[in-house]
Amino acid sequence: MATDKTSVQKREADTREVAERTRSGKVFIPAVDIFETNEAIFLIADMPGVDEKSININLEKNVLTIEGKVQHYEPEKMELAYAEYNVGDYQRSFNLSDSIDQDKIDATIKDGVLSVKLPKAEPAKPKTISVKTK
């Protein structure tokens, strides 16, 4: 069940594809899980250092963009003995299909994990048609 954690490292985002940034620092692609139930699609993203005030979710023309700003932490007057990870902002975009009810998207963030619920629109839900006999 455990995934190979040794291969899990932060991936840096290629920000050249979108508009250029006006904030300095690195940008990372958050690791995500995407799963689907009968009612909705869930998107879970690891964004350590981000809270409800520093997260920004934007939906434009079927493209869902999640952005998180991270405050850089550096203890004063201390020497960085070794650094294995970099701290930076997060950014990632997803294409949504038409089957998502865009008005009912719901997002929560806790302990640096963002959960976005994308409910399926009514017509996309499987319908059973009852057959009557005369």
Partner 1 sequence: MVLNRMFFEEPWHEVERIQNEMNRLFNSRLSRGRLAYPAVNVWNDSEKVIVTTELPGYDPQKIDLSILNDELVIRGKREPEKSGDDIQIHRQERPIGDFERTVALPYRVDSEKVDAHYEKGVLTITLPRAESDKPRKISIKSK
Rule CB under 8 A: say whether 127 interacts with partner 1: no
Candidates 57-65, 70-78, 96-104, 120-128; binding stretch for partner 1 (CB under 8 A): 70-78
Beta strands 113-119; 106-110: pairing state? antiparallel
Count how many residues are written for the chain.
134
For residues 33 and 24, the answer to whether their CB atoms sit within 8 Å is no
Rule CB under 8 A: say whether 82 interacts with partner 1: yes
Nearer to partner 1, 22 or 128 (CB): 128
Rule CB under 8 A: say whether 60 interacts with partner 1: no
Nearer to partner 1, 6 or 24 (CB): 6
Instruction: For the segment 30-59, give every residue that binds partner 1 (CB under 8 A).
Output: 31-38, 41-42, 44, 46-51
CA 93 – CA 14 distance, rounded (Å)? 12
CA 36 – CA 78 distance, rounded (Å)? 46
Nearer to partner 1, 38 or 133 (CB): 38
| Contacts for 30 with CB less than 8 Å, ≥ 6 apart | 45, 46, 47, 66, 68, 90, 92, 114
Binding site for partner 1 (CB under 8 A): 1-3, 5-10, 31-38, 41-42, 44, 46-51, 73-75, 77-85, 110-113, 115
